[in-house]
Amino acid sequence: MRTTTLLTSARFSKGGEPFATVALPHTWNAKDGQDGGNDYWRGVGTYEIAIPDPTDGKRQFIEFKGANHVATVYCNGRLMGEHKGGFSTFRFDLTPAMKPTGNVVRVDVSNAVSDIYPQTADFTFFGGLYREVSFIETSPAHFDLMKGGTSAVFVTPMVSGTTRLDLFPVEAEGCTVSVDLKDADGAVVASGSAPAEPHLVMTLAVKAPHLWNGMADPYCYTAEASITRGEEVLDTVAVDYGYRSFHVDPNTGFWLNGKNVPLHGVARHQDRLDKGWAISRADHEEDIALIKEVGANTVRLAHYQHDQYFYDLCDHTGFVVWAEIPFISRFIPGKEAHDNTISQMTELISQNYNHPSIFFWGISNEILIGKDREDLRRNLRELNALAKRMDPSRMTTMAQVSMTPMESEHNTITDVVSYNHYFGWYFGEASDNGPWLDKFHALYPDRCLGVSEYGSEAITKWHSAYPENHDYTEEYACEYHHEMLKTFATRPYLWATHLWNMFDFAADGRDEGGIQGRNNKGLVTYDRKLKKDAFYIYQAYWTTEPMMHVCGERFVDRAPGERNVTVYTNCPTVTLVVNGVEVATLPAEDHAAVFKDVALNDGPNIVTAKCGDVTANTITLKAVAEHNYAYDLPEGNDAANWFDDPAARAARKPLDYPEGFYSIKDRVVDLLANSETAAVIHDAMQVFAKSSMMSMMGSDKEDDQGGFMGTMRLSDMMKMASKSFSSDVKRQINEALTKIKKN
């Protein structure tokens, strides 16, 4: 029988520094990968891991569930091999290199710049052995541990109950392979056996199988496969699986087991504050619980293969999962990068084939941030064909950057397509989302369309009674997300919507909203300790158990004109209670009730809400005479003016966009095409190309003027790099442009 020993410590050296003992899992970027500056250390770290003594007559393996990006493995000084790709499981057979005692495995892990995806993206590429490492011993006859990091047992279930099993035993001549299919209670519902072969196919039948039915009933079976010689059991592998059917309709969206199930959910990155990617099983469990609490029924596990344990949790929770590879942002030409996309897709599918929660294989994300090209399209078509060949039972998808033309060939490559749209944050207004979606659906009524990303930054120390885009307040995020939910509620043709993001996450190149090194679009903070107010508008829309939440807990000081109170709920009405007195009752419209100009006493005011037996949280508000400027994000170079001269700020007139003249509302590509306007925006383009946001995305290339950057309005470009463009700078550029007449 096989034994598995979790390896929990190692000696570690970063870049040739002296060795020190560290706990496994481990990343060397836990701190510098989250503190901003886009300067986290990328290089080679060396781990020396003492492993148990071998057992006579057994074979020894080492298993890594994730080592980013490239791992080179030695046992007792002997090269075992190399693995390229930071997110999949891989193993090496140590048997030929083992000594009777004193065995050491050395692993050189590199997250240095290379042609291994990802290299350009809006998140930190944490280096190290950041997932579990195990020492495995087996009998010589065993299910092949060297079969691409898989269990070597693949289950293909049909809702009819017909169940195909593909099994891959090794060194099993003269042995028997047996399979028991067990229900959720452990009862055997079908079984079979056959003489061992290198690739053994069995077909078993389960009568009237209990279907895996998403959040309503995530029912899993277990396939337990054994290799025996006579009465001796040599190896056993157990994998969970489920019976379900699904399809996607371009007009009515996702269907599971013959029932229409609108998919609404979130995306998730795997890192945490001060831990990076080196997180525990308890951390995974907490993430699952929070995603379930908000009411999501689908999860996009972006932008790479996640831990097997998290997929297991999704199986048993009932989430519909989009799993993907990190073919992201910018195409890297050349054979090594191409081959790496193929190997990562192969490992993603083969290692996760049995998970009933996975329905969609994602082949790329925002790959057109760089320019389109034929070898890119060829690579995408090859990935799609590979996925369909390896797993015809699931659908393929991809996430398009917002500026991808509706008519793009990219939208025809996969079974379904989704767009990452940030109308209302990076450009445009939140209300622009609906018309864009309707236009696409009208032009291509037979294509299944989804929204793979949308979001707004929300930093919990910034607040406003008059929120506006890019003020980074919780209140703007609430308005934005409420608008998005209303948009989705009236568009049943969307096959899925995935909020970006469930949790704040590290992006070391970012410097936004007064926070360095972080993307703050999460509904929950990076440390998972605080649910932002926007969390609760989703809960109000997505859950049925009665709930109610009073917003503004962190917006305590309320001057005149700042005393509205918003309550989110899935109840029909809301009664506001202030200092124990019922103030008013309002109907909940689109799951929200807004109480205007609530009267507050001097000193603390205790505010809550109720509907029958349902009570909300309680917050404390204080009546103050003047606005508390500590709630306002200092605006770039205008920070002193914000505090020193509020009257001057109030006197500023809105920007003017006269018809027939250029302005910052024009597209960058059009402004660059005119020599006069190109001269005006030259410095702005240089600033933008060097901004933390764009350098992080790799968009500092000249060809972007006709690609990702060129399709944007100059005002939107400035918004993306808001720290570099104060209001005065925007005003000066706009005034210069509006003096130039269009031809």
Residue tagged 């008013």 (tokens): 584
Phi, psi of 187 (to 5 degrees): -75, 135
pLDDT of residue 322: 99
Please report which helix (H) or strand (E) contains residue 389, including its range.
helix 374-390
Sign of the C-alpha dihedral, residues 322, 326, 330, 335?
Answer: negative
Tokens of 595: 């109480």
Q: Is 443 exposed, middle or buried (0-12, 13-18, 19+ CB in 10 A)?
A: exposed
Please give the positions annotated as active site: 366
Contacts of 478 (CB under 8 A, 6+ apart): 458, 467, 533, 534, 537, 551, 566
**pLDDT lower than 50: segments of the chain:** 637-650, 696, 699-706
Contacts of 54 (CB under 8 A, 6+ apart): 60, 95, 98, 100, 103, 137
Q: pTM for this structure? A: 0.91
Set out the domains of the chain in order of their start, with CATH numbers. Answer: 3-139 (2.60.120.260), 160-241 (2.60.40.10), 246-543 (3.20.20.80), 557-630 (2.60.40.10), 634-737 (no CATH)
Q: What angle do CA 311, 312, 316 make, to 5 degrees?
A: 115
Report the C-alpha gap between 375 and 378 in whole angstroms.
5
Spell out the SS3 assignment of 263-311: CEEEEECCCECCCECCCCHHHHHHHHHHHHHHCCCEEEECCCCCCHHHH
Query: How many CA atoms are closer than 13 Å to the CA of 540, on its beta-carbon side?
Result: 30
pLDDT of residue 710: 59
Q: Which amino acid is at 725?
A: F
Contacts of 574 (CB under 8 A, 6+ apart): 548, 567, 585, 586, 587, 588, 593, 609, 610, 611
Coil/strand/helix, residue 374 = helix
